[in-house]
Amino acid sequence: MKIGDLARHAGCTTETVRFYEKEGLLPAADRAANNYRSYGARHLERLRFVRNCRALDMTHEEIHQLLALMETAGADCGGVNELLDAHIQHVDLRIAELLQLKQQLDALRQRCQQQQGVDACGILLGLAEMEASARPERHTHLG
Amino acid sequence: MKIGDLARHAGCTTETVRFYEKEGLLPAADRAANNYRSYGARHLERLRFVRNCRALDMTHEEIHQLLALMETAGADCGGVNELLDAHIQHVDLRIAELLQLKQQLDALRQRCQQQQGVDACGILLGLAEMEASARPERHTHLG
DNA sequence: AAACACCTTGTAGCAACTTCAAGGTCAAGC
DNA sequence: GCTTGACCTTGAAGTTGCTACAAGGTGTTT
């Protein structure tokens, strides 16, 4: 299987595949005589796994850790559970942040009900007055 | 006021101030005899405005547009309202995406209740089996 | 032989900064 | 006078997860 076939089967682009190889998320492929990358079913499984993790918004670092845990022969999956729990916490946290943000935005939006001169616009006044409590550090990679 | 003072008053770093200047979010500062940047109250107001917008997760582009709208003398604030409405939609969308993600993650987490060999771990099986419906394009800048 | 789709490598770009390197300026302390 | 330390200057590179070239080699079809 050439890189384009692999990519199509996994629903991503060839560039992404090469990028994952560089990142160590996929093992370096075998090369055919013409120097083209050559893949088998195992590679496809692995790539699908990685893409599934990405679909769940895991970082490359999290995926690396997960792969390492999987490949430790005879290990139990406690580490896997912990990793997933931590990831779920990231998501929960980001949801909470965005809900709070939404409240602030709705409140700001309330301050201007009709079109008027920009000098009188409640939204602009609100943006000028706000005291952006030194913005919280990110505890999550989710933007 | 030197750049460090300005930054402290606005709750950001000097690097951020210089970066905003380069981005055109702050006008280029006057220079003192020693070539240090020199700021007044107007600059602080402007920087605070920008930081408040950022605290609401607006992009630099959105902030640029907002500043342009504000500086159009005699304009009404219809554009401001539209911009804010669009931004609120971005946030709503991202919240919806994350809530769906959370559901998927919770379902996956359910698949492994106790520690066991990695070969039997329901989470890893789930990650292998998932069919990552070709991941949706982003309609929002919020990660 | 030319057209076309595919492969190779390497580099640059996105957003919004942060970090680093290498140096200039200024006030205080010995 | 000389050093220490805190501040300032510029410019380049790193972060994350890709995407988009550019410049060229390979392979099949017409």
Residue pLDDT, tens place only, B92-132: 999 999 999 999 999 999 998 888 888 889 888 888 888 87
CATH number, domain at B17?
A: 1.10.1660.10
Q: Indicate the helix (H) or strand (E) that contains A106.
A: helix A78-110
Closest nucleotide to B35 by C1' from CA? D9
Give dist(CA B47, CA B25) in Å, integer: 8
The count of domains in chain A is 1
Q: Which residue is nearest to nucleotide D27 (CA to C1')?
A: A34
Q: Indicate the helix (H) or strand (E) that contains B38.
A: strand B37-38
Closest nucleotide to A36 by C1' from CA? C7
Q: Is A87–B105 a contact, with Cβ atoms under 8 angstroms apart?
A: yes
Give dist(CA B93, CA B85) in Å, integer: 12
Domain for residue A18, yes or no? yes
pLDDT band at B2 (very low <50, low <70, confident <90, very high): very high
Residue B23 CA and nucleotide D4 C1' are separated, in Å, by 36
Give me the tens of pLDDT residue by residue for chain A, a chain 143 residues long.
Answer: 999 999 999 999 999 999 999 999 999 999 999 999 999 999 999 999 999 999 999 999 999 999 999 988 778 889 999 999 999 999 999 999 899 999 999 999 999 988 888 888 988 888 888 887 655 566 677 77
* B123 and B86 part of one domain: yes
Domain for residue B9, yes or no? yes
Domain for residue B25, yes or no? yes
SS (H, E, C) A78-105: HHHHHHHHHHHHHHHHHHHHHHHHHHHH
> How high is the pLDDT of residue A77?
87
Domain for residue B114, yes or no? yes
Q: Is B98–A130 a contact, with Cβ atoms under 8 angstroms apart?
A: no
Domain for residue A35, yes or no? yes
Contact status of A50 with chain B (Cβ, < 8 Å): no
Strand partners, A30: A38
State which residues form the domain around A11. Answer: 3-55
Give dist(CA A87, CA A80) in Å, integer: 11
Q: Is B81–A123 a contact, with Cβ atoms under 8 angstroms apart?
A: yes
Q: Which A residues 79-98 touch B at CB under 8 Å?
A: 80-81, 84-85, 87-88, 91-92, 94-95, 98
Please state whether beta strands B30-31 and B37-38 pair in parallel, antiparallel, or not at all (unpaired).
Answer: antiparallel
Give dist(CA A126, CA A123) in Å, integer: 5
* B90 and B50 part of one domain: no
Residue B43 CA and nucleotide C23 C1' are separated, in Å, by 28
pTM here is 0.86
Domain for residue A30, yes or no? yes
* B48 and B87 part of one domain: no
**pLDDT tens string B30-58:** 999 999 999 999 999 999 999 999 999 99
B9 CB inside 7 Å of strand D: no
Domain for residue A67, yes or no? no
Domain for residue A131, yes or no? no
pLDDT at B138 over 90: no
